[in-house]
Structure 1
Amino acid sequence: MSVLLAAELVFRADGTPYSPLHDDVYHSPAGALAQTRHVFLKGNGLPDAWRLKPAFTVLETGFGMGINFLATWAAWRSDIERSAALEFVSIEKYPFSADDLRRAHAAVIDDPYVMPLALQLADAWPPLVPGIHRLSFDSDAVGLTLIFGDIADALASLRAQAFIADSLYLDGFAPARNPDMWTPSVMASLAALSSNETTFATYTSAGSVKRALRENGFEFRKVAGFSGKWAMLTGKRATSPIETNCVID
């Protein structure tokens, strides 16, 4: 049985988790949970988008420490009008070990409501072998599907299953540090996994990412980034993509 290369947990001097492999940080020094809530929850119109639906599905490119999943799970749990089910599918080529996941969460999670969820995640963490790993929480109302492996292969597998996402979290390290996560072919696969109502959000506004999105039928706008970052992108799958420069709070 093949084993994946595990991510190496390293902390910078300011306490921010850092990837030596990609020479980039896992989140802003201003806060992991706060960044997720601004970029991915607010950027995808959550929690409003899942309210009163039978199920809501998120597809994420780059699980990392799982902060996006944990923040989404916590927001879903606290919403009395939440969807009946939450499905979260995430792709990760270099997952952490369970022990390093616990260490990372202990260092960066400052919310007493989220920390118990992090402990549940670490306790359920699968072995670091390639393939699909299905985890369930909250009496099976919350499903986490982890796909350990290359993003192109993972997206092809989802396409074969006729998977469709309600929201896309375009994460992973910066395009300059991890270009394989942001290619036009990746965006084409994501478009094939989207309906015309599928939303997306990402912390980057790099020109190469905007071009790849536009070429594959996503409309987007630049909005204010997190913690002083000038811009990020939000948008949805559409037939006539148009970029605007509208900035929101």
Structure 2
Amino acid sequence: MGDADHKHDADASKTGAETLAWHENDMPFSNAFQDHFYSKADGRAECNHVFIAANRLTERWQAGGNFAIGELGFGTGLNFCETLRQWKRLRPAAARLCFTSFERYPLKSAAIDRALSHWPELAEERRALVSRWPDEPSDRIEIDFDPQTRLVVHCSDALASLTASAERFDAWYLDGFAPSRNPDMWSAALMQTVFGHTTPGGTFGTYTAAGFVRRNLQAAGFSVTRARGFANKREMLCGRRPDAP
């Protein structure tokens, strides 16, 4: 996520309860939360550093079987598309990935298409996502991309949706808007619920190193580590739920 320091243009469209604007270099920006949807340096590279590498996914996928990723904040679908790109390249024959995201204000397919067009490396994944994305997203979106890959997006309050879910996740992408702009996405209650829906030994990565986020994650039960941040961010957080006794 980037800081809101660019003047947006007049090309804005209403998406759910928030206003989407486009900054220079076609960067999507939330007027409601006053934050960019991904790093101005390179959102795809940020995904690799903060989520895929911090969760050791390329290594863990080699074990095969079922793997579940949970994400707070689907946004433009960038994290999903980059994960899908790598998953298709690395997955064992019998492995299966379920990527579940919680996004209260889903974007329209045209906005997703525009935002992801910045990365030609994701053209195949972008087209696959946009072609399947519903014109009017409901409370729950389910898309099977192939027999080994499913996407689920809960389009409602993250805490309520996750609390009601029976799912458990092997890795988390904590990618809500900046904690100073969207504190509910980083609350103690939500971090405790994330912990409760994490498998023993499950992990998380997040671009932020905000003190209250770190404390909420630790209070929930995660072991938390400060790591080198992406681009101009000095630090980020990653961590793990301890193994069951």
**TM-score surpassing 0.5?**
yes
Following the alignment from structure 1 to structure 2, what is the Cα–Cα distance between the partners of residues 131 and 234?
30
In 1, Cα distance between equivalents of 2:222 and 2:184: 19
Following superposition, the deviation at residue 59 of structure 1 comes to: 0.3
Q: Does residue 109 of structure 1 match 2:109?
A: no
**Structure 1 range deviating more: 87-96 or 43-52:** 43-52
CA distance in 2, matches of 1:236, 1:26: 25
CA contact (8 A) 1:56 1:83 kept: no
Q: After superposition, where does 1:38-49 map in structure 2 within 5 Å?
A: 38-49=49-60
Q: Kindly tell me: are residues 29 and 82 of structure 1, through their superposed partners in 2, closer, same or farther at Cα, counting changes over 3 Å?
A: farther
The one-letter code sitting in structure 1 at the alignment partner of 2:120 is D
1:201 aligns with 2:212: no
Stretch moving more, 35-44 or 231-240: 231-240
Establish whether residue 150 from structure 1 lines up as the match of residue 160 from structure 2.
Answer: no
2:143 matched residue in structure 1: 135
Counterpart CA distance in 1 for 2:25 and 2:93 is 36
Inter-partner Cα distance in structure 2 for 1:82 and 1:209: 38
**What is the DSSP-based 3-state SS (H/G/I as helix, E as strand, rest coil) of the residue aligned with 1:44?**
coil
Measured in 2, the distance between the counterparts of 1:183 and 1:115 equals 35
For 1:102, the aligned partner's letter is: D
Q: 1:53 to 1:7 in 2, by over 3 A?
A: farther
Instruction: Judge which range, 14-23 or 60-69, deviates more.
Output: 14-23
Could you tell me how far 1:199 is from its partner in structure 2? 0.5
- SS of equivalent to 2:54: helix
Asked whether the 8 Å contact 2:26–2:115 carries over to 1, the reply is no
Give the RMSD, CA atoms, in angstroms. Answer: 1.8
**Hey, what does 1:73 align to over in structure 2?**
84
Instruction: Provide, for residues 66-92 of structure 1, a one-character-per-residue CA deviation record: whole Å limited to 9, x for no partner.
Output: 011011111111115476111100010
* 2:63 aligned counterpart, secondary structure: coil
The equivalent of 2:100 in structure 1 is: 89
Which residue is 2:132 aligned to? 124
Structure 1 distance, partners of 2:224, 2:37, is 24
Match of 1:182 in 2: 186
Q: Secondary structure at the match of 2:87?
A: helix
C-alpha deviation, 1:131, in angstroms: 1.8
Cα offset, 1:155, TM superposition: 0.7
Tell whether 2:43 aligns with 1:36: no
The superposition leaves residues 169-202 of structure 1 with CA deviations (integer Å, 9 ceiling, x where unpaired) of 0011000101110000001111110122110000
> Among the aligned pairs, what percent are the same residue?
33
Question: Gaps spanning 5+ residues in structure 2: where?
Answer: 1-14
Quote the offset at 1:10 in angstroms: 1.7
8 A contact 1:56–1:86 mirrored in 2: yes
Letter in 2 for 1:44: N
Which AA in structure 2 matches 1:72? T
SS at match of 1:95: coil
- CA separation of 1:200/1:82 partners in 2, compared to 1, >3 Å: closer, same or farther? farther
Contact 1:9 1:18 in 2 (8 A): yes
Helix, strand or coil for the counterpart of 1:51?
helix
The answer to whether the Cα contact below 8 Å between 1:51 and 1:82 also exists between their aligned partners in 2 is no
- How far apart, CA to CA, are the structure 2 residues paired with 1:82 and 1:38? 26
Secondary structure in 2 matching 1:223: strand
Q: What SS class does the counterpart of residue 141 from structure 2 fall into?
A: strand
Equivalences, count: 230
Counterpart-to-counterpart distance in 2, 1:173 and 1:232: 14
Residue in 1 that maps onto 2:8:
none
CA contact 1:50–1:82 (8 Å) conserved in 2: no
TM-score between the two structures when normalised by the length of structure 2: 0.88
Deviation at 1:61, TM superposition (A): 0.4
Q: 1:80 to 1:125 in 2, by over 3 A?
A: closer
Residue 104 of structure 1, CA deviation:
1.4
Query: 2:61 maps to what in 1?
Result: 50
